[in-house]
Amino acid sequence: MPTIVFVSPKGGVGKTTAALLLASELARAAPVTVVDADPNHPIAAWGKGAALPANLSILADVDEDTIIDRIEEAAARTPFVIVDLEGTAAKIVLLAVSQADLVVIPMQGSQLDAEQASRAIRVLKQHEKMTGRAVPYGVLLTRTSPIIRTRTMGHIQSGLLDAGVPVFDTQLNEREAFRAVFSFQQTLEDLDPREVSNLDKAQANAEWFAAEVIERLRAARAGSETPTATSNVGAA
């Protein structure tokens, strides 16, 4: 069952926010486990105060020694597993990536962040060299303005695409509602629109992101099945 891992060696780019938004969206339709592998346990802390949706479980008891087993156990139990890591390039990242069906690399729109995203991509390439398996991934632009497309952002986005780096069509906009999820310890769905501005827009944004993740998982699965299909044709 699909495991989606959020990776970025840079702190504060929106990994935890994007991971929790995705988990809550998917949990509206199917059971999800979040493996909170950040030693500060931001998602577990959120879950302690939140009225947790029935479909959402959070596992925080993980470290380098246990992460592979924990992800495997979670994947056997729930259709979706989402892994949130701290902002580092430590060994635990490589271990989590080894279990991933899709890696999401959140990135904010500055040149510095683009360099950090390249470091994350290098980790994926390193993993591919070690194991012979290429993990599908996509860069997710985060905290972007819903109104204006800055020149820096446009430049970075086209630079990534020119370099053959897959970039999510959906960007996570800068929204108060995405911060409110943590401060009110509620899911986006449960927040009160009278207390949080543009909640409907934030909800739509999170839905698009989740839909694109599903689409990319499907595409990755179809891609990985292609060689078998070709060899069947060859054998026929």
CB-CB neighbours of 112 under 10 Å: 10
Minimum CB–partner distance for residue 173 and ligand ATP (Å): 6
Q: Which stretch binds ligand ATP (CB under 6 A): 8-16, 48-56, 185-193, 214-222?
A: 8-16
Kindly tell me which residue out of 41, 70, 127, 175 binds ligand ATP, with binding defined by CB under 6 A: 175
Binding mask 11-50 for Mg ion (x = CB under 5 A): ----xx----------------------------------
CA distances, 204 to each of 83, 137, 169, 173, 231 (Å)? 23, 23, 14, 11, 41
Q: 43 near 16, Cβ under 8 Å?
A: yes
Minimum CB–partner distance for residue 129 and Mg ion (Å): 27
CA distances, 25 to each of 87, 202, 222 (Å)? 23, 12, 23
What is the Cα–Cα distance from 42 to 60, expressed in whole angstroms?
A: 9
Q: Which stretch binds ligand ATP (CB under 6 A): 6-14, 73-81, 146-154, 219-227?
A: 6-14
Nearer to Mg ion, 17 or 220 (CB): 17
Contacts with ligand ATP, residue ranges (CB under 6 A): 8, 11-17, 38, 86-87, 142-143, 172, 174-175, 178-179, 182
